[in-house]
Amino acid sequence: MQEPTSGPQPPESGSAPARSPLSTTPPYLREYPRQYLNVRVLDPLTAYQVMDQADVQPSAFVADTLLVRGFHEETASALAEVAAEAGFALRWDPRGERELEVLDGADLSDEERERVRDIWVRRVRLVPADPRDPVFRPIDTWRLLQAYRVKVGGRRSPRHADVGLEHPAVADPATSGHPITGGHPITGGHPITGGHPITGGHPITGGHPITGGHPITGGHAIGQYVEPGWGGRQPVSWLGAEPAPSYPLDGSVPRPVVAILDTGVGEHDWLEGDVVEHDLEVLGLEIGVDPASAQGDLLGVSDEMVGELDQDSGHGTFIAGLVRQACPEAQIYDIRTYGNDGQVAESDLLTCLQRLALRQVLARNGVGGYTPVDVVSLSLGYYHEQPGDAAFDRLLLGPIQLLGRYGAAVVVSAGNDATSRPSFPAAFAPYDGGMVADDEQVVPVSTVGARNPDGTIALFSNDGPWVGYLRPGASLVSTFPRTYDASANPSHEVVTAGGEVRASFDPDDFSSGFGVWSGTSFAAPVLAGEVAAALAAAYRSGDTDLSTSAAVSRVRALLRGLKGREL
């Protein structure tokens, strides 16, 4: 992999201009959509701090829960003590007990069992210690976390980083919904803005595609990408053929396996049969969260009173189509990690990753009939409150590194906030000065930023030395569930005397099965598909050793051979 620069560099003669510094304050943290999760935003000006800790930055966190890594008695005891001092008690997520039973009974070596247990994270809720008292003040989990760190002895204690805040991860921390949407398919009226089909009466005239000459209408430049015609989510027609595999998918040659942790893969003829496997499990544990509602999943609509497409509706299906286009041989694992609102509590994300990592270990060992995963596509992330301290984000790093240790390439989107502040897991990619060193025994995280169709870097794309790859991520065409036809309608429709229906554009009718969308969410699966395609070529040539060491070496070599970012 080509190593990115650690900062802006002066351009050489005749070369492209140097990258300019980006903002380090993502707008996403200023107006966090708190209605989805019980979250607060940590304010460095008022947050309690401990003398020997790294500086604190703004971060969103779930208000009344903490995450605990491992099963160490010292950790649980110290946390219970500081909670009691604050008048609260610990209520552990019951999932943890079931998972511990499964881990203890799994067919693992002692070393593997310890390795898996060490990265396992459980959620604990802080509840009033005396349930008879009907009135209590909400707990400040950040202050409690600081007290815990002091209790166990500060940074020098091995238990210091066992407890952390629970962050709400979003599908690429975007400013207006996700990935570059803004809630409703169009936003700001109907069908585009300004009443008549576009503006100015005649079909698509009036200068620029929306209104008023310049790109959108006096808004922020990044807002262009939410508009249909400028890369925003909209239906399109597809005239090409379905991607065709280069060899028979009869088991005679291995197929690359790509796990997509996203909103789920909907109905589409490209994604049927043995192309996509749903409902994964490991030792009886489901991998993935249940849909909020079957109807919302099918139609992309959760609010029946309004009937609009949710901001991330179709996200996972779009990603699966991109992988299929790049690698028709790929076997796709559909792991529904969050709903169509594009948000997931970190504990739920970790549950998916941990169970997938356990499955990966068993698969590489030939246990349970599981097939190993080759590539994991993650289009989500969050901003950590102490990104400069490597010890404070081991909770999410643990299962990701375990997947890499057992031969899976984890590919992550950079984020859509046009910021240079590291988001996670994107910033787990190895780079000079980063928190994760490259290890020959582990497939590294690969982080992907977005390019425009002309090859320039998309204005919304996050950037930093952890972004090792750039791939197309604006105005991409891919699959959408054919079942989507929400409440927006054509502005004009008429039935002629001959019975033919004539209409203007319906902005949320995806019965064609295809659409356009933009975001680093989609640059990541483009690279994931490339990795899978390179693996398919290797398998086709006879390189079919699926042992752990061979898988790690093979994928690392393939990543080095793929085009990194150009400086």
SS (H, E, C) 438-449: CCCCCCCCEEEE
Residues 159 and 293 in one domain: no
Q: What is the pLDDT of residue 187?
A: 35
Residues 359 and 465 in one domain: yes
Query: CA-to-CA distance for 362 and 2, rounded, in angstroms?
Result: 32
Give the mean pLDDT of 2-6.
37
Query: CA-to-CA distance for 265 and 286, rounded, in angstroms?
Result: 16
Q: Is residue 364 part of a domain?
A: yes
- What's the structural domain count of the chain? 2
Q: Is 505 left (phi over 0), alpha (psi -120 to 50) or beta?
A: beta
End position of a domain, from candidates 120, 145, 166: 166
Query: CA-to-CA distance for 28 and 176, rounded, in angstroms?
Result: 8
End position of a domain, from candidates 117, 148, 166: 166
Give catalytic status of residue 172 as yes or no: no
Q: Is residue 136 part of a domain?
A: yes
Residues 42 and 153 in one domain: yes
End position of a domain, from candidates 113, 132, 166: 166
469-472/493-495 β-pairing: unpaired
Give catalytic status of residue 521 as yes or no: yes
Give catalytic status of residue 315 as yes or no: yes
Q: Pick the catalytic residue from 312, 315, 334, 377.
A: 315
Q: Is residue 208 part of a domain?
A: no
The per-residue pLDDT for range 336-394, each reduced to its tens digit, is 999 888 889 999 999 999 999 999 999 999 998 999 999 999 999 999 998 876 566 68
Query: CA-to-CA distance for 157 and 150, rounded, in angstroms?
Result: 10
Q: Cβ(460)–Cβ(232) under 8 Å? A: no
Residue 204 structure tokens: 């698509």
Q: Is residue 198 part of a domain?
A: no
* Strand order from edge to edge, sheet including 375-378: 276-277, 331-336, 257-262, 375-378, 409-413, 446-451, 469-472
Q: Is residue 104 part of a domain?
A: yes
Low-confidence winner among 135-144, 421-430, 557-566 (lowest mean pLDDT): 135-144
Q: Is residue 11 part of a domain?
A: no
Residues 485 and 366 in one domain: yes
Give the mean pLDDT of 55-70.
91
Q: Pick the catalytic residue from 262, 348, 393, 463.
A: 262
Residues 159 and 254 in one domain: no
Residues 278 and 414 in one domain: yes
Cα–Cα nearest to 163, from 126, 111, 130:
126
CATH number at residue 458: 3.40.50.200
Phi, psi of 349 (to 5 degrees): -60, -45
- Judge if pTM exceeds 0.85: yes
Residues 144 and 254 in one domain: no
Q: Is residue 15 part of a domain?
A: no
pLDDT band at 48 (very low <50, low <70, confident <90, very high): confident
Residues 380 and 480 in one domain: yes
Residues 148 and 265 in one domain: no
Residues 447 and 350 in one domain: yes
Residues 124 and 270 in one domain: no
Domain that holds residue 160: 34-166
Q: Is the pLDDT of residue 3 over 80?
A: no
Residues 450 and 552 in one domain: yes
Q: Is residue 235 part of a domain?
A: no
